[in-house]
């Protein structure tokens, strides 16, 4: 019997648990699993069931039993009291008595394990596909929310130089100074400010990243790593916009966008 379970993980890790007699098959099992799964911690449990009527066998590790007895005796010498293990002590010590499965030929066992492993992997893939469909729907909904914040930033950004001019005029009036619209220094200062706070390039790259995000979600290949990278790029663009815009309204939109993006990134960790 083969049982497979998985938990989310950024990289692929395959853990195989089974009888020691079949340890040489672990490489084949891992190869089969990695042919289907590229991310996550996959635990494969192989259990051998005796045929009906077959005699059970118990394997004794005599060396471990003697070492266990000697350790008790040495402990007694240390504490100054005679100590010897009882039968229940031996039974509780893992590895001394093991349910044996008799002489097992690995190649013969593989003939039974391979189809069971294939069936378990098919079930795992189907389960992950169902989970992936739900995650895709959730990611697309969150992506639309993110696009809404981008639209809000794109709407408010062009008005930033205008607000800067109004603020400059107000400060000069409060200082008792007039502002000559034809003053070349004022025009130059406002032009430099407008250039510094221009975020059109960042917004264009955000649109490109969002389009690529949707493209990866529709692709047949596993998109997890690519989407993880895109999340980093989206974070970078929002940080740049926040630094350049220097505006409370835009800053609030960026905080909300990054909060939503963090939720997207967490979900991306669940994708293969």
**Token reading at 179:** 């502002």
Q: Give tens-digit pLDDT for 146-191.
A: 999 999 888 887 777 666 666 666 665 666 666 566 666 666 666 6
% of the chain residues with pLDDT over 70: 79
First to last CA, the chain: 26
Q: Give tens-digit pLDDT for 56-115.
A: 567 778 888 888 888 888 888 888 888 888 888 888 887 787 765 556 677 888 888 888
C-beta separation of 232 from 226 below 8 A = no
- List, as one string, the DSSP characters of 195-249: HHT--HHHHHHHHHHHHHHHHHHHSSS--HHHHHHHHHHHHHHHHHHHHHH--HH
The whole model's pTM is what?
0.55
User: Is beta strand 2-7 parallel, antiparallel or unpaired with respect to 57-60?
Assistant: unpaired
Tell me the β-bridge partners of 85: none
């Amino acid at each position: 019997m083969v049982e497979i379970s998985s938990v989310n993980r950024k990289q692929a890790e395959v853990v195989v648990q089974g009888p020691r007699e079949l340890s040489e098959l672990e490489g084949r099992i891992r190869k089969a699993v990695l042919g289907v799964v590229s991310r996550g911690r996959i635990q494969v449990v192989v259990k051998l069931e005796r045929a009906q009527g077959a005699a059970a066998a118990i394997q004794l590790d005599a060396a471990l039993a003697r070492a266990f007895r000697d350790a008790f005796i040495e402990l007694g010498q240390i504490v100054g009291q005679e100590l010897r293990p009882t039968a229940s002590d031996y039974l509780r010590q893992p590895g001394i008595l093991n349910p044996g499965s008799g002489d097992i030929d690995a190649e013969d066992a593989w003939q039974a394990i391979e189809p069971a492993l294939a069936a378990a992997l098919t079930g795992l893939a189907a389960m992950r596909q169902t989970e992936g469909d739900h995650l895709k729907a959730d990611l697309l909904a969150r992506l639309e929310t993110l696009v809404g914040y981008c639209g809000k930033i794109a709407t408010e950004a062009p008005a930033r130089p205008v607000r800067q001019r109004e603020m400059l005029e107000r400060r000069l009036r409060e200082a008792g100074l007039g502002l000559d619209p034809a003053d070349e220094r004022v025009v130059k200062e406002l032009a430099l400010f407008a250039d510094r706070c221009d975020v059109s390039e960042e917004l264009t790259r955000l649109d490109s990243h969002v389009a690529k995000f949707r493209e990866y979600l529709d692709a047949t290949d596993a998109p997890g790593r690519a989407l993880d990278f895109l999340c980093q790029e989206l974070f970078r663009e929002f940080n740049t916009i926040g630094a350049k815009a220097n505006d409370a309204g835009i800053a609030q939109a960026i905080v909300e966008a990054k909060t939503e993006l963090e939720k997207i990134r967490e979900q991306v960790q669940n994708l293969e």
